[in-house]
Structure 1
Amino acid sequence: MSTPEEDALAKKRFLAMNLVRLSGVVMILLGLLCALDKIDIPGARIIGVIFILIGMIDTFLVPLMLAKRWRS
């Protein structure tokens, strides 16, 4: 049986992982807007591609790394 402290810690970690995923998705969407020239800034395509790549890492890899770190 788990203690209330363990439950609270698990909820915080679950929330953190989902916020990381959500921020990654937002970054991907922002990158798509830049890459498709919907946002008018100099060098938007390059910035958009960078945002997309960082967002993909943030969405898919960082939650796995957090889970692995918290498991040990």
Structure 2
Amino acid sequence: MSNDTRKARNRFLVITLVRVAGTAGALFGLLLFARAHVVVDKVLGIAIVLAGLYMIAVVPRALAHKWRSPPEP
């Protein structure tokens, strides 16, 4: 396996793991929101859900943009 192939595979895995972690975080926040009886816990749950959704939507694109290979001349 060439070095470029290994680097591309590792970057793909990192992007996938970021998406999985964001999904898990959003589900945790949803669970916290659903089971909370105090307003502070509900607000915290909503904040965690929003952070997880941000992590799912923005972070993988930012990593892909950062790791994009330069165009060939």
Which category of TM-score, normalised to the shorter sequence, fits these structures? Answer: 0.7 to 0.9
How many residues in Structure 1 have an aligned counterpart in Structure 2? Answer: 69
Q: CA–CA distance in 2 between the matches of 1:8 and 1:16?
A: 12
| Structure 1 unaligned blocks of 5 or more | none
Shift of 1:44: 1.6
* Partner residue of 2:22 out of 13, 19, 24: 24
What is aligned with 2:44?
47
What is aligned with 2:59?
62
Q: CA RMSD in A?
A: 1.9
Q: CA–CA distance in 1 between the matches of 2:10 and 2:30?
A: 30
Shift of 1:43: 2.3
Shift of 1:60: 1.0
Which one-letter code corresponds to 1:50 in the other structure? A
| Structure 2 unaligned blocks of 5 or more | none
- Report runs of 4+ in structure 1 exceeding 4 Å deviation: 39-42
What is aligned with 1:33?
31
